[in-house]
Amino acid sequence: MKIAIVAAEAAPHAKAGGLADVIGSLPDALKRAGAEPSLIVPAYASIVENVETAPVLRNIPMRFGTDLERFTVLRATDPHGVPMYLIDHPGFFARPGIYGDSGIDYPDNMRRFIFFARAAAIAAAEILAPDILHAHDWHSAAAPITMRADNALRAKFKRALSVFTIHNLAFQGISKREDFALLNLDAAYNSVDYLEFYNHLNLMKGALVLCDGASTVSPTYAREITSDPELGFGLEGVLCDKGENFVGILNGADYDEWNPARDREIAATYTQSKPDGKRKCTRALRDSLRLPHREGWPLVGMVTRMTGQKGVDLLRDALDAVMRLDLQLVMLASGDTALEKFFKDAESRYPEKLRAIIEFNNTTAHRIQAGSDAFLMPSRFEPCGLTQMYALRYGSAPVVRATGGLRDTVAEFDPARGTGNGFAFEKFEAAEMVAALSRMVATFRDRAAWRRLMANCFASDFSWERAARQYLEWFTLLRKARGLS
């Protein structure tokens, strides 16, 4: 099965968030499962400067609204040996950032990514002739849209299926209705049945309506966004209309990078059978942050974005109550400037219990995963989440709000039965989060129970191999339903 994966990010060279981690791992997992994946991404400077490229299509003209734009397709190879095709347009992609620079979004992002996704669909048709075109999030939505709505492309893709995956429904690619002209489609598609959304253009809606199959990144999130208007963001009806052609497939974790047995970023490696290195990592993390060593106090880690979605505002509201518990908290986070200031200021109030590192640093992220006893994710909503999967691999017990992929990966620990791999709370309320942290602290004091919990964490397996098999099984079902098997 030939699969063309279209996305705006791909680790390691073009990363702004979790999407990059997914796209950095999924193609290799599909390849090992027997498929023929290829990856199509923009030719960002961060990629072109770090990989060898060769042009395969030059100066391809594309009508772009009232303009005629041209692009070149460069061929490269990703770190796993998967073919990678780069859409090269210096005006749009030869910039320092992916979506913006110095915390400010590029004002022409809608134009940039409509252009990219349309060019990606053309490149897939001309170079790859795939069985599946698999587009991810709104930045790639114009690929499945034009694959079905553009007459010339429709003919070239008549034996291919389009699949669209939602990584976060809160970001849909909504802009002014006049931007529809950039798609160069028949005006009939600029209607409520397709791309029109409350008198705006909505790229994600168009992709969902026109694709053959849609998915999101966890089973629970798939249920939530079709049943809860707050999480459906206006598209719950469109998703329900997909019926059985909308599924939730849980993301996987990259156990090549996130593995305490061979992690070069941490103070000492360790495994489930030889866990002593974790204590060394905890001591090293406390030392590096000048936190005192407190016997019986768990060290709680967070690696997150400073946003309301991630529940950092809930932690803000509960911080005094959290700090009254016998624990220490280390945060690696950046984003909302007001939240950043609050937690930096709070360090001086709790000098022996709190550290807020306002940045993102991959080495520090690894050291927090390895050095923490527990890992806090109080998300308002969480389509999948990857950091809780990493925490489990490092023997750190997640403390999570039971939503989306967090519900699918973390089960409440039962000391009597010895089951479960973390601590979960249902309601998005400060008291519930504090109660979950209190249960964690009480369990930490029971060394036998904590050893059982750590063993359960280590045993949790969320590999990409599982996810790749599920994708291929689903693709096969979609093709059979279309008579393309």
Report if residue 337 sits inside a domain.
yes
Cis peptide before 12 (omega within 30 of 0): yes
Q: Is residue 453 part of a domain?
A: yes
Q: Is residue 346 part of a domain?
A: yes
- Asked if residue 445 and residue 311 are part of one domain, the reply reads yes
| CATH number of the domain bearing residue 177 | 3.40.50.2000
Q: Which domain holds residue 291?
A: 276-461
In a domain, 271, yes or no: no
Same domain flag for 212 and 101: yes
User: Does 193 share its domain with 294?
Assistant: no
The count of domains in the chain is 2
Return per-residue pLDDT of the chain as tens, 485 residues: 999 999 999 999 999 888 999 999 999 999 999 999 999 999 999 999 999 999 999 999 999 999 999 999 999 999 999 999 999 999 999 999 999 998 799 999 999 999 999 999 999 999 999 999 999 999 999 999 999 999 999 999 999 999 999 999 999 999 999 999 999 999 999 999 999 999 999 999 999 999 999 999 999 999 999 999 999 999 999 999 999 999 999 999 999 999 999 999 999 999 999 999 999 999 999 999 999 999 999 999 999 999 999 999 999 999 999 999 999 999 999 999 999 999 999 999 999 999 999 998 999 999 999 999 999 999 999 999 999 999 999 999 999 999 999 999 999 999 999 999 999 999 999 999 999 999 999 999 999 999 999 999 999 999 999 999 999 999 999 999 999 87
Q: Are residues 453 and 373 in the same domain?
A: yes
Does 355 share its domain with 332?
yes
Residue 457 shares a structural domain with residue 472: no
Q: Is residue 266 part of a domain?
A: no
Residue 469 and residue 435 share a domain: no
Instruction: Indicate whether 170 belongs to any domain.
Output: yes
Flag whether 269 is in a domain: no
7 shares a domain with 101? yes
Contact call for residues 311 and 339 (beta carbons, < 8 A): no
Residue 431 and residue 312 in one domain:
yes
- In this structure, what are the phi and psi dihedrals at residue 357, rounded to the nearest 5 degrees? -100, 110
- On whether both 471 and 456 belong to a single domain, the answer is no
